[in-house]
Structure formats: C-alpha cells, structure tokens
Amino acid sequence: MASSEPALAVVHLEFPPEPALLGTVRLVVGIVARKAGVDEEGVEDLKVAVSETCAVAVGDLAWAGLSTPIELDLVEEPDRFGVEVRDRAPAEHAPSVPEDGEVDDRQFGLALVGALVDGLHSTMLEGGGHSTRFWLRRGLEELPPPLT
Amino acid sequence: MDLDLNVRKEGDHAVLGVGGEIDVYTAPKLREKLIELVSDGEYHLVVDLEKVDFLDSTGLGVLVGGLKRVRNHDGSLQLVCTQEKILKIFRITGLTKVFPIHSSVADAISDSAE
C-alpha cells in the first residue's frame, strides 16, 4: 500500500569501538550531512556531537571489556537531521577519573553535545546498552518568529 | 589520522604548533608534549591551534591540564586561534574566560609579556 509519508533517507554505520576510527566516523557524518543540505556550521556541530557521543560509548565498552560494534544512524528528515548512536555497554559506566589537573571529559563532552544539538535524549536498550538520540533543525530561517 | 606537533622558541616562550584533529585518540600525544615541555622548564607556552581541524572535550581537558601545570610554576599558557568552529567550542564551554585566546603568535607573546 502506498504511503503519503515521505521516505526517510537513513545511513547506517557499524564500527568497532576503537578511538582510531572516530576520525573516519566524523568524515562520514560530514559527507552525509552536507549531502542532506546541512550548512557548514551545522555540519561541524554534528561532527562534534557524534564524535563526543561515540567517544563515550568507546570508553564504556572498553571499560566493560566488550568489542561489540557501535551503531550509528544518520536520518535525513524533512525539517531536521537526526542522529542515533547505539552501543551494548552495560548501564554502569566507566568511572570518570580525570588526568592530573584536567577536567571530567565525560561530563564535559555530554554538556558540549547538549549545547550543540537539540533534543539530546539517552535511554537504556532492552538486553543492555544505550541509545542516544539528538537532532539538528534545518531551515530555521523559514520558521515563523517566536510568539511574544 | 595523526596529530602534528612542532615546538619552536620565541624568546622566553615555547610555541607549540598543533595541526590535525584533537580527539580521544590523539589527545594523549598532546598531553605528553605539554608535560614534556613543562618538565623541561618551559613555563610560558603558546599553543597555536590555527592548523587544528577538529577539537573535542578530551582536547579541551588536555589544554586545561597544561594551563594548570604551567600555573603551578607561575607560568602562562596562551592560545592562538581564529577559526570560528574551534572558538565556538571554547565559548560554549566557558573556556574563553579561562584561556587568553589571540589572533596571532606575536599577539600572544606580547600579551603574555605585559
């Protein structure tokens, strides 16, 4: 049966939880977001947000001694660009122990993601793991002015 | 993906030029270089970020750590950066109030000397 809903373009990526691969992940995010029409500032914001989220997953999986892949969905929607990162790390995460004189990277990173993108939301998956979602609105200039 | 690091002396300052992407994979290399410089008695540092393509929270943490290390010796750590995408990360995290950020190495050195 035909649907009136427009099809969503989804790019799905699975990769081993290795820090060395985060650069490649950012490269893919940049290409897909540009192709979807996200402006350059938005592309950079998405790259930081995805990289930070994946880095947390990489750390948690390493701490748990797991090498299960991290899954990334990049979803092109009519008015926004959505991201979901899924991992199979246990609920208990790696303790944050900053290097001498430094800051708590985990909290710092998640705060950064929350500031760069919209709708940051993380839930536990059935059977273990996390799903972290956020999105970036497109075409803000086309929205009506805020109500006063 | 790698991080390019080069050090040169400019008077009392050690200028650390950084190129590439600073993330959870490459930040340890930057941390080691900053620790090495301080161990060698370099307490007035200028970190030039003009050739950095990407910076994440791990990199910010390493820079904060470097700042604390030089301050333990009454030193200074100045940053050079004019790229909006990198400056945005410092602004969002409030670190523009922590780090002096300059548009050139010369400005960073003259400001540090005042």
Residue A93 has pLDDT above 90, yes or no: no
Give me the helix-helix angle, B84-92 and A105-116, nearest 10°: 110
Mean pLDDT of the residues in chain A: 85
Please, are residues A125 and A91 in contact by the beta-carbon 8 Å criterion? no
How many Å is the maximal CA-CA distance in chain B? 38
B34 inside 8 A of chain A by CB: no
Condensed to tens digits (0 to 9), the pLDDT of residues A31-64 reads: 999 999 999 999 999 999 999 999 999 999 999 9
CA B106 to chain centre: 15
Full set of structural domains in chain A with CATH: 11-95+102-139 (3.30.565.10)
Three-state DSSP at A92 gives coil
pLDDT of residue A141: 44
Quote the pLDDT of residue A101: 59
User: Cβ–Cβ of A47/B92 closer than 8 Å?
Assistant: no
Distance CA A100, CA A82 (A): 36
Q: Report which secondary-structure segment, H or E, holds B108.
A: helix B105-113
Q: Which residues of B34-58 are buried (b: 16+ CB within 10 A; e: fewer)?
A: bbebbeeebbbbbbbbeebbbbbbb
Beta sheet of B44-55, edge-to-edge order: B3-10, B13-22, B44-55, B76-80, B101-102
Q: Which residue has the higher pLDDT, A8 or A34?
A: A34
Size of interface A-B (CB pairs under 8 A): 74
Which pLDDT score is estimated for A94? 65
Q: Which of A123-127, A129-133, A142-146, B70-74 has the lowest mean pLDDT?
A: A142-146
Give the pLDDT score at A52. 96
The pLDDT value recorded for residue A9 is 78
pLDDT number for residue B1: 63
**Rounded-to-10 torsion of CA A13, B86, B12, B38:** -40
Does residue A1 have a pLDDT over 60? Answer: no
For residue A81, pLDDT over 90 is answered with: yes
Q: Please enumerate residues of A whose Cβ is less than 8 A from a Cβ of B.
A: 19-20, 22-24, 26, 41, 44, 47-48, 51-52, 55, 58-59, 98-105, 108-109, 111-112, 115-116
CA distance A54 to chain B (A): 10
How far apart are alpha carbons B18 and B48 in whole angstroms? 6
Do strands B13-22 and B44-55 pair parallel, antiparallel, or not at all (unpaired)?
Answer: parallel
- For the cut 80, the answer to whether the pLDDT of residue A147 exceeds it is no
Residue A5's pLDDT band, with cuts at 50, 70 and 90, is low
Which one-letter amino acid corresponds to residue B66? G
The answer to whether the Cβ–Cβ distance between A52 and B21 falls below 8 Å is no
Q: What is the pLDDT of residues A102-141, one digit of tens each?
A: 666 677 888 899 999 999 999 999 888 999 999 998 654 4
| φ and ψ of B54, to 5 deg | -155, 140
Percent of chain A with pLDDT over 70: 79
What per-residue confidence (pLDDT) applies to A4?
57
Residues of chain B found within 8 Å of residue A51, distances taken between Cβ atoms: 23, 54, 56
Under 8 Å between Cβ of B66 and B45: yes
Q: In this complex, which of A51, A58, A108 lies closest to B61 when CB atoms are compared?
A: A108
Domains of chain B: 3-109 (3.30.750.24)
Question: Residue B62: enclosing H or E segment and its boundaries?
Answer: helix B57-71
Output the pLDDT for position A103. 64
For residues A44 and B53, give the distance between their C-alpha atoms in angstroms, rounded to a whole number.
10
Asked if A135 contacts A117 with a C-beta cutoff of 8 angstroms, the reply is: yes
Nearest residue on chain B to A108, alpha-carbon basis = B57
At A143, the pLDDT band (50, 70, 90 cuts) reads very low
Of A30, A68, A55, the C-alpha closest to A113 is A55
Average confidence score pLDDT of chain B: 95
pLDDT more than 90, % of chain A: 65
